[in-house]
Amino acid sequence: AIQRTFSIIKPDATKRNLTGAINAKIEAAGLRIIAQKRIRMTREQAETFYGVHRERPFFGELVEFMISEPVVVQVLEGENAIAKYREVMGATDPDEAADGTIRKDFALSKGENSVHGSDAPETAAEEIAYFFAGLDLVG
């Protein structure tokens, strides 16, 4: 079925001017970028967005990283978009990511891993609604 997923191009990638290169991989996979904006995430947004990781040892580092440089938040649409984007991203750890994936080609480490993608339909809907109004999505 046609799905939507939420994506973030993270600070390590925007800093190295990789937004276009990442978007090219997204589009080559058949996913359509139906909304996109470059923002500087606030600390509050980062802490709320990553709230499920609040108790993890890397939470503080993750929040500092996400607010360190601008990010690009996006909504991607396509057949089976959630799983497809996770495939295009590759494993969280770039050392474990498959050839040709975004993280294999661009990520620096498990933390500075260039992109985020939703893991399930419920989280995709929540994450999209956190950053975009319905009228911003142009399918």
Question: 62, 67, 82, 124: which one contacts ligand CMP (CB under 6 A)?
Answer: 62
Instruction: Single out the catalytic residue among 115, 116, 131, 132.
Output: 116
In angstroms, the CA 101 to CA 61 distance is 24
Q: Which positions from 70 through 109 interact with ligand CMP, judged by CB under 6 A? A: 92
The yes-or-no answer on residue 53 being catalytic is: no
Residue 86 Cβ vs ligand CMP, minimum distance, rounded to whole Å: 9
In angstroms, the CA 63 to CA 27 distance is 28
Neighbours of 69 (CB within 10 A): 15
Least Cα distance to 73 among 27, 32, 134, 127 occurs for: 127
Given the complex with ligand CMP, which of 53 and 138 has the nearer CB atom?
A: 53
In angstroms, the CA 48 to CA 67 distance is 13
Contact assessment for residue 137 and residue 6, using Cβ atoms and an 8 Å cutoff: no
Q: Which positions from 13 through 42 interact with ligand CMP, judged by CB under 6 A? A: none
Annotated binding site: 10, 58, 86, 92, 103, 113
Using CB under 6 A, list all residues that contact ligand CMP: 53, 58, 61-62, 92, 110-111, 113, 116
Would you name the residues annotated as active-site residues?
Answer: 116
